[in-house]
Amino acid sequence: MAKYDDRLDRHFSALGDATRRSILARLARGRATVGELAAPHDMSLPSFLGHLRKLEEAGLITTAKDGRVRVCQLAPDAFAPAQDWLAEQREIWTGRLDRFDAYVATLKNERDP
Protein backbone atom coordinates (compact mmCIF):
# COMPACT_ATOMS: atom_id res chain seq x y z
CA MET A 1 0.00 0.00 0.00
CA ALA A 2 2.81 2.38 0.81
CA LYS A 3 4.10 1.73 -2.69
CA TYR A 4 0.88 2.94 -4.31
CA ASP A 5 0.88 5.88 -1.95
CA ASP A 6 4.38 6.86 -2.99
CA ARG A 7 3.43 6.60 -6.62
CA LEU A 8 0.38 8.81 -6.15
CA ASP A 9 2.42 11.21 -4.03
CA ARG A 10 4.89 11.75 -6.86
CA HIS A 11 2.08 11.78 -9.40
CA PHE A 12 -0.04 14.48 -7.78
CA SER A 13 2.95 16.47 -6.54
CA ALA A 14 4.32 16.62 -10.07
CA LEU A 15 0.95 18.00 -11.20
CA GLY A 16 1.05 20.66 -8.47
CA ASP A 17 3.23 23.06 -10.44
CA ALA A 18 2.10 25.29 -13.30
CA THR A 19 5.36 24.89 -15.23
CA ARG A 20 5.04 21.12 -15.18
CA ARG A 21 1.36 21.17 -16.13
CA SER A 22 2.25 23.41 -19.03
CA ILE A 23 4.88 20.89 -20.16
CA LEU A 24 2.28 18.12 -20.02
CA ALA A 25 -0.22 20.22 -21.94
CA ARG A 26 2.40 20.74 -24.63
CA LEU A 27 3.26 17.04 -24.77
CA ALA A 28 -0.42 16.10 -25.05
CA ARG A 29 -0.14 17.67 -28.52
CA GLY A 30 2.86 15.53 -29.45
CA ARG A 31 6.43 14.66 -28.58
CA ALA A 32 9.10 17.35 -28.32
CA THR A 33 12.77 17.79 -27.50
CA VAL A 34 14.06 19.32 -24.27
CA GLY A 35 15.00 22.50 -26.13
CA GLU A 36 11.57 22.85 -27.73
CA LEU A 37 9.87 22.32 -24.39
CA ALA A 38 12.14 24.76 -22.58
CA ALA A 39 11.88 27.62 -25.10
CA PRO A 40 8.61 29.19 -23.84
CA HIS A 41 9.76 29.12 -20.22
CA ASP A 42 11.79 32.03 -18.89
CA MET A 43 14.05 29.81 -16.83
CA SER A 44 17.58 28.41 -16.97
CA LEU A 45 17.95 25.04 -18.63
CA PRO A 46 19.17 23.25 -15.49
CA SER A 47 16.12 24.50 -13.58
CA PHE A 48 13.87 23.39 -16.40
CA LEU A 49 15.51 19.96 -16.49
CA GLY A 50 14.61 19.56 -12.83
CA HIS A 51 10.94 19.79 -13.79
CA LEU A 52 11.36 17.23 -16.57
CA ARG A 53 13.08 14.88 -14.16
CA LYS A 54 10.18 15.17 -11.72
CA LEU A 55 7.68 14.41 -14.44
CA GLU A 56 9.67 11.37 -15.48
CA GLU A 57 10.06 10.13 -11.88
CA ALA A 58 6.30 10.49 -11.48
CA GLY A 59 5.78 8.27 -14.52
CA LEU A 60 3.98 11.05 -16.38
CA ILE A 61 6.45 11.28 -19.25
CA THR A 62 9.13 9.14 -20.84
CA THR A 63 12.30 10.50 -22.42
CA ALA A 64 14.97 9.02 -24.67
CA LYS A 65 18.26 10.36 -25.97
CA ASP A 66 18.48 10.53 -29.78
CA GLY A 67 21.88 11.77 -30.81
CA ARG A 68 22.50 14.93 -28.83
CA VAL A 69 18.81 15.76 -28.30
CA ARG A 70 16.47 14.20 -25.76
CA VAL A 71 12.95 13.51 -26.97
CA CYS A 72 10.11 13.61 -24.47
CA GLN A 73 6.57 12.31 -24.71
CA LEU A 74 3.60 11.60 -22.48
CA ALA A 75 3.73 8.18 -20.85
CA PRO A 76 1.02 5.74 -21.95
CA ASP A 77 -2.03 6.28 -19.74
CA ALA A 78 -0.10 9.06 -18.05
CA PHE A 79 -3.09 10.46 -16.19
CA ALA A 80 -4.82 7.18 -15.35
CA PRO A 81 -3.60 6.85 -11.72
CA ALA A 82 -4.74 10.36 -10.83
CA GLN A 83 -8.04 10.05 -12.66
CA ASP A 84 -8.74 6.66 -11.12
CA TRP A 85 -8.15 7.87 -7.58
CA LEU A 86 -10.32 10.95 -8.08
CA ALA A 87 -13.10 8.97 -9.73
CA GLU A 88 -13.06 6.47 -6.87
CA GLN A 89 -13.45 9.18 -4.24
CA ARG A 90 -16.23 10.87 -6.16
CA GLU A 91 -18.06 7.58 -6.49
CA ILE A 92 -17.96 7.07 -2.75
CA TRP A 93 -19.06 10.65 -2.18
CA THR A 94 -21.82 10.46 -4.78
CA GLY A 95 -23.04 7.19 -3.32
CA ARG A 96 -23.29 8.86 0.05
CA LEU A 97 -25.28 11.74 -1.43
CA ASP A 98 -27.62 9.28 -3.15
CA ARG A 99 -28.26 7.53 0.13
CA PHE A 100 -28.87 10.90 1.79
CA ASP A 101 -31.30 11.85 -0.97
CA ALA A 102 -33.09 8.55 -0.45
CA TYR A 103 -33.28 9.25 3.29
CA VAL A 104 -34.73 12.70 2.70
CA ALA A 105 -37.26 11.19 0.31
CA THR A 106 -38.24 8.68 2.99
CA LEU A 107 -38.75 11.47 5.52
CA LYS A 108 -40.93 13.36 3.05
CA ASN A 109 -43.03 10.31 2.36
CA GLU A 110 -43.53 9.74 6.07
CA ARG A 111 -44.59 13.34 6.56
CA ASP A 112 -46.82 13.59 3.44
CA PRO A 113 -48.19 10.11 2.87
Partner DNA sequence: CGCATACTTAGCTACATGGCTAAGTATGAC
Partner DNA sequence: GTCATACTTAGCCATGTAGCTAAGTATGCG
**Measured between alpha carbons, how far is 34 from 45 in angstroms, rounded to an integer?**
9
Strands (E), the chain: 32-33, 61-66, 69-74
Which entry of DNA, a copy of itself, none binds 29, CB below 5 to 8 A by partner kind? a copy of itself
Q: How far is the CB of 81 from DNA (least distance, A)?
A: 17
Query: Does 47 participate in binding DNA (rule CB under 7 A)?
Result: yes
Report which of 62, 88, 64 is spatially closest to residue 75, judged by C-alpha positions. Answer: 62
32: left (phi over 0), alpha (psi -120 to 50) or beta: beta
Between 28 and 68, whose beta carbon lies closer to a copy of itself? Answer: 28
The residue from 68, 92, 111, 113 that contacts a copy of itself (CB under 8 A) is: 92
The residue from 24, 34, 49, 71 that contacts a copy of itself (CB under 8 A) is: 24
On whether the CB atoms of residues 24 and 74 are closer than 8 A, the answer is: yes
Between 38 and 74, whose beta carbon lies closer to a copy of itself? Answer: 74
Q: How many residues line the site for DNA (CB under 7 A)?
A: 24
**Measured between alpha carbons, how far is 82 from 84 in angstroms, rounded to an integer?**
5
Binding site for a copy of itself (CB under 8 A): 2, 5-6, 8-18, 21, 24-25, 28-30, 74, 78-79, 82-83, 85-87, 89-90, 92-93, 96
